Each structure stands twice: as structure tokens, then as C-alpha cells.
């Protein structure tokens, strides 16, 4: 059986799904395109790694601290968004990515180029959990994240964020404090991204600066846009499909990334709202199916 393989692919896909849900709040709701989300990811992973290897905490005791720290650092890193916007913000986030990578690579406190080794698997009741256990933990965090995102999407906060994203001036004239909501988005986004970083660090067992490169950030944004910007289902779907897609192409090993890159470009152009976003291909198919079912029910 290839159980472990599928399990570990699923674990990583779930971790990325959590991350993309976080990115969705920032980029999907407030339309602040982030091409540096690997930096937020790195902050979660590195904070956890440091707390575990240097402070000797366990997975569970370090987790709340890491999440809190990710949130705070996320807000600090979001501060430039109050001054700059649009394409300047995109490039600023790219910059944050490179700066965070540079700092982790050049300062020995963060392990430097040698990375941080020895991030052990979490334990429950003194017993180390295996791959399956870890997958279940990841999955439950994913479900938790989905729940929070769902609940959040029903609140006024999300409307305020979307208004901020659509037209900042108009939102301000409606009495929305756009700065607060931008920061709010950064805080929520970096929290989820930090959580994803924690889970990732534990499942790999080590962190190296180059794991959080700009290419990763591009992949993250691609996942979100591929699935459907601004929707929870799209974020989860995008993360799973784009993570698993290259695995499907294993049989054309050498041409795998070529096909991947080309497809990414084509699908984004053909389906700018994402495959599962509003008005996307699958979205319409599902809507049609649901409608058909409703119709047949009415007839019967």
C-alpha cells in the first residue's frame, strides 16, 4: 500500500490549504496582493523551531506562543500597507520575503545557513504520534481553520474588508476605518499562515532558509487564484489541486514542471476568477447540477 505516501501528500496539501485560507483573507478580501507569503510562513516555522530547540518547549506549549508571535510580526510586516498600495504593495511583499530569508540565512540566532534541525513530532500523553496521527492533527487544524474562516465570512468584518478592497475611499466615506481593517487582515492572515508554518516545520523536522523562497510565494498566490480568490472552497481546492497536480505528472517526470507552468498560465487566463471561484468553471457546473436537482425535486 502507498498509504504513507498518500498520507504525507495529504498532510502537506492540508498544511498549504490552511496557509491559502490565510492568504485568502488578505488577498481575497482586502485585495492586498501578497507575493511574499513565504515570509509569513517562515516566521511561523522558525518561531516554532526556535521555541522547541532553544527554549525546549513541546509542540503544544509552543503552539499558542508561536501563533501569537506570528500575529504580532504579521501586523508589523503589514504596516507598510498603510503607506503603499497596489503594485507597490505587491513589490513590498516580495521585498519582505527576501528580507526575511536574508535574515534567517545570515544571522546565527536563526540557525543561519545550517538551518534548525531536530524539530520533533508532537506527542500526546507522552507517546510520539506517527504519520497517521500527525495527519489527523493537521486535518483537524484545517477543519478548524475552515470553520473560523466560514464564521468570519459571515461577519460584518469581512464585508468591511471587501469594501476596503474594492474602493478604499468609498469605504472610508461609509465610515469604515480602512487602516484598522487592513491590519486586521494582516493579523488574521499571518496567524493562519504561521499555523501552517508550525505544522510544516514539524512534519519536515528541520527548517532551512531556502525552504521559504520567493518561488514558494508565487506558488501560494497561484494556488489561491487557481482555486478562486475570495472564496473558502476555492482556497482549499486550489491548495489541494496545485499541490497534488505535480504528483500526478510524475510519469512525465522531466516535463512535469513545464506542463505545470504552462497549464497555470492558461487556466488563469481562461478562468480569471479561479476554477471554483464565483463564476468559475466548476462553480457553474456545480450550480447547474444543484439547480437540476432542485428542478427534478420540484417536478416530483
Listed residue (188, 176, 168) closest to 78, CA to CA: 188
Is position 255 an interface residue for other proteins (rule: CB under 8 A)?
A: yes
Interhelix angle 131-153/3-23, rounded to 10 degrees, is 30
Q: Which stretch binds other proteins (CB under 8 A): 45-53, 65-73, 154-162, 257-265?
A: 257-265
Is position 267 an interface residue for other proteins (rule: CB under 8 A)?
A: yes
What is the bridge-based pairing of β-strands 116-117 and 206-207? antiparallel
The grid coordinates of residue 47 equal 518561531
Is position 117 an interface residue for other proteins (rule: CB under 8 A)?
A: yes
The least CB distance from residue 114 to other proteins, in Å, is 5
Q: Which stretch binds other proteins (CB under 8 A): 151-159, 168-176, 180-188, 239-247?
A: 239-247
The answer to whether 198 and 48 have CB atoms below 8 angstroms apart is yes
Q: Which stretch binds other proteins (CB under 8 A): 55-63, 65-73, 141-149, 270-278?
A: 270-278
Listed residue (32, 20, 298, 34) closest to 149, CA to CA: 20
How far, in Å, CA of 190 to CA of 185, rounded?
Answer: 8
- The length of the chain is 300
Q: Which stretch binds other proteins (CB under 8 A): 56-64, 112-120, 168-176, 184-192?
A: 112-120
Residue from the set 50, 90, 137, 195 that interacts with other proteins by CB under 8 A: 90
The least CB distance from residue 139 to other proteins, in Å, is 16
Is position 84 an interface residue for other proteins (rule: CB under 8 A)?
A: yes
The grid coordinates of residue 45 equal 516555522
Site for other proteins in 125-144 (CB under 8 A): 131
Amino acid at each position: 500500500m502507498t498509504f504513507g505516501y498518500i498520507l504525507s501528500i495529504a498532510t502537506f496539501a492540508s498544511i498549504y490549504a490552511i496557509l491559502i485560507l490565510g492568504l485568502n483573507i488578505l488577498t481575497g478580501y482586502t485585495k492586498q496582493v501578497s507575493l511574499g507569503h513565504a515570509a509569513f510562513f517562515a516566521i511561523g516555522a522558525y518561531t516554532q523551531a526556535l521555541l522547541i530547540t532553544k527554549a525546549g518547549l513541546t509542540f503544544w506549549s509552543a503552539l499558542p506562543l508561536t501563533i501569537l508571535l506570528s500575529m504580532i510580526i504579521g501586523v508589523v510586516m503589514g504596516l507598510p500597507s498603510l503607506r503603499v498600495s497596489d503594485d507597490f504593495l505587491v513589490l513590498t511583499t516580495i521585498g519582505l520575503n527576501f528580507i526575511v530569508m536574508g535574515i534567517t540565512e545570515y544571522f546565527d540566532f536563526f540557525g543561519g545557513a545550517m538551518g534548525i534541525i531536530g524539530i520533533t513530532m508532537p506527542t500526546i500523553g507522552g507517546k510520539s504520534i506517527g504519520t497517521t496521527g500527525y495527519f489527523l492533527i493537521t486535518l483537524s487544524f484545517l477543519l478548524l481553520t475552515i470553520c473560523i474562516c466560514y464564521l468570519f465570512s459571515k461577519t460584518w468584518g469581512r464585508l468591511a474588508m471587501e469594501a476596503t478592497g474594492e474602493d478604499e475611499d468609498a469605504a472610508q466615506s461609509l465610515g469604515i476605518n480602512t487602516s484598522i481593517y487592513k491590519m486586521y487582515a494582516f493579523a488574521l492572515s499571518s496567524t493562519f499562515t504561521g499555523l501552517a508554518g508550525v505544522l510544516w516545520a514539524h512534519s519536515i523536522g528541520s527548517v532551512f532558509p531556502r525552504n521559504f523562497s520567493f518561488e514558494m510565494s508565487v506558488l501560494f498566490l497561484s494556488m489561491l487564484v487557481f482555486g478562486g480568490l475570495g472564496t473558502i472552497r476555492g482556497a482549499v481546492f486550489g491548495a489541494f489541486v496545485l499541490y497534488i497536480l505535480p504528483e500526478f505528472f510524475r510519469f512525465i517526470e522531466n516535463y512535469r514542471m513545464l506542463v505545470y507552468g504552462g497549464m497555470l498560465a492558461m487556466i488563469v487566463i481562461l478562468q480569471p476568477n479561479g476554477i471554483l471561484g464565483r463564476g468559475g468553471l466548476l462553480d457553474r457546473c456545480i450550480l447547474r447540477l444543484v439547480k437540476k436537482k432542485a428542478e427534478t425535486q420540484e417536478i416530483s
